[in-house]
């Protein structure tokens, strides 16, 4: 069995909080991670932590070094690069130089095998003219070689359960969840169809994890689960516990329970960010 924690969108180093769904406290990341270690990791049974992207608010060498220090936990931490992690054209060089421990094989696209589970970290691209760079584009896509590399990696382990980690969500937030008139954070059809097509082509891919929207969502499409996470540094400081066996996938959303040294605010008018029970937890048997 593989059992790991999924957190996302911590925006370490933010001088001023920009995009957020609930009040955000990136300056308190050390305390929040201490709670995570105490409540989950020190109890045992957690193999690693997967960060879904936007670990930092902007890519600068000193901020990346600081993040590498802050995220030095008792278990390995792996990163699926998000758009805020890639705000310089040389961002990838900075990450691989200053924080190589977040990546297997010194590559931004890599796999983590744990028991009968293989997690493929496949960061989506943003700017049409430059890979692993984000300026302002919000049209996610994959480079051609990324898809080929992913399919080859999946084929190497035909008897394993496979998961994907992609920063941009695959599905938007439905009106049934948000209570709003339309889809929140709509996803381009081409991007969604690329990912769902891969899952249909490779039925041993059973789950896709993402961040970016700072909203908990969960969609069961066919024989796979697509889940996105809220920001770990936004009230109520949520994360996911993911358990994978040869015959099941279980995802559960939890929040930090420890008493904090600061008094976080909460915006009840955006409670849909936390999701309904069906947006927070699911189990798939196969």
Residue 249 phi/psi, 5-degree rounding, is -130, 125
Question: Distance between CA 179 and CA 268 in Å, rounded?
Answer: 13
- Residue 46, pLDDT above cutoff 90: yes
Average pLDDT over every residue of 205-223: 97
Count: domains in the chain:
1
Question: Distance between CA 81 and CA 66 in Å, rounded?
Answer: 16
Higher pLDDT residue, 57 or 18? 57
- Residue 15, pLDDT above cutoff 90: no
Q: How many CA atoms lie within 13 A of 146 on its CB side?
A: 20
41: CATH: 3.60.21.10
Task: Report the relative pairing of strands 205-210 and 224-228 from DSSP bridges.
Answer: parallel
Domain membership of residue 257 as a residue range: 2-285
Residue 30 phi/psi, 5-degree rounding, is -60, -45
pLDDT tens for each residue of 59-78: 999 999 999 999 999 999 99
Q: Which residue has the tokens 């890599």?
A: 110
Assess contact for 46 and 5: CB atoms under 8 A: yes
> For residue 284, how many other CB atoms are within 10 A of its CB?
17
Percentage of the chain exceeding pLDDT 70: 100
Q: What is the pLDDT of residue 98?
A: 98
Q: Which residue has the tokens 């430059």?
A: 130
Q: What does the block give as tokens for 44?
A: 């045992």
> For residue 94, how many other CB atoms are within 10 A of its CB?
18
* pTM exceeding the 0.75 threshold for the entire prediction: yes
Average pLDDT over every residue of 84-111: 97
Residue 100 phi/psi, 5-degree rounding, is -65, -20
């Amino acid at each position: 069995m593989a059992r790991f924690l999924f957190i996302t969108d911590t925006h370490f180093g933010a001088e001023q909080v920009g995009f957020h769904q609930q009040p955000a406290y990136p300056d308190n990341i050390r305390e929040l991670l201490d709670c995570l270690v105490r409540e989950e990791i020190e109890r045992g049974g957690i193999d690693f932590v997967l960060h879904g992207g936007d670990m930092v608010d902007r890519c600068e060498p000193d901020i990346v070094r600081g993040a590498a220090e802050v995220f030095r936990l008792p278990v390995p931490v792996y990163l699926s690069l998000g758009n805020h992690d890639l705000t310089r054209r040389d961002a990838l060089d900075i990450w691989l130089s200053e924080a190589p421990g977040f990546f297997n094989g010194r590559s931004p696209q890599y796999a983590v095998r744990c028991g009968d589970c293989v997690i493929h970290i496949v960061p989506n691209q943003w700017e049409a003219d430059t890979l692993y760079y984000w300026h302002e584009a919000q049209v996610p896509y994959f480079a051609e070689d990324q898809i080929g590399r992913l399919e080859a990696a999946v084929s190497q382990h035909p008897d394993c359960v496979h998961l994907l980690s992609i920063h941009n969500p695959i599905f938007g937030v439905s009106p049934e969840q948000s209570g709003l008139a339309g889809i929140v954070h709509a996803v381009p059809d081409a991007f969604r169809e690329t990912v769902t097509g891969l899952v249909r082509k490779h039925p041993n891919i059973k789950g896709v994890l993402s961040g970016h929207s700072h909203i908990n969502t969960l969609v069961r499409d066919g024989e796979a689960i697509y889940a996105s996470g809220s920001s770990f540094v936004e009230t109520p400081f949520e994360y996911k516990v993911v358990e994978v066996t040869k015959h099941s996938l279980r995802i559960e959303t939890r929040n930090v329970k420890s008493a904090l040294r600061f008094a976080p605010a909460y915006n009840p008018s955006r409670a849909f960010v936390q999701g309904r029970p069906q947006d927070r937890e699911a189990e798939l048997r196969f």
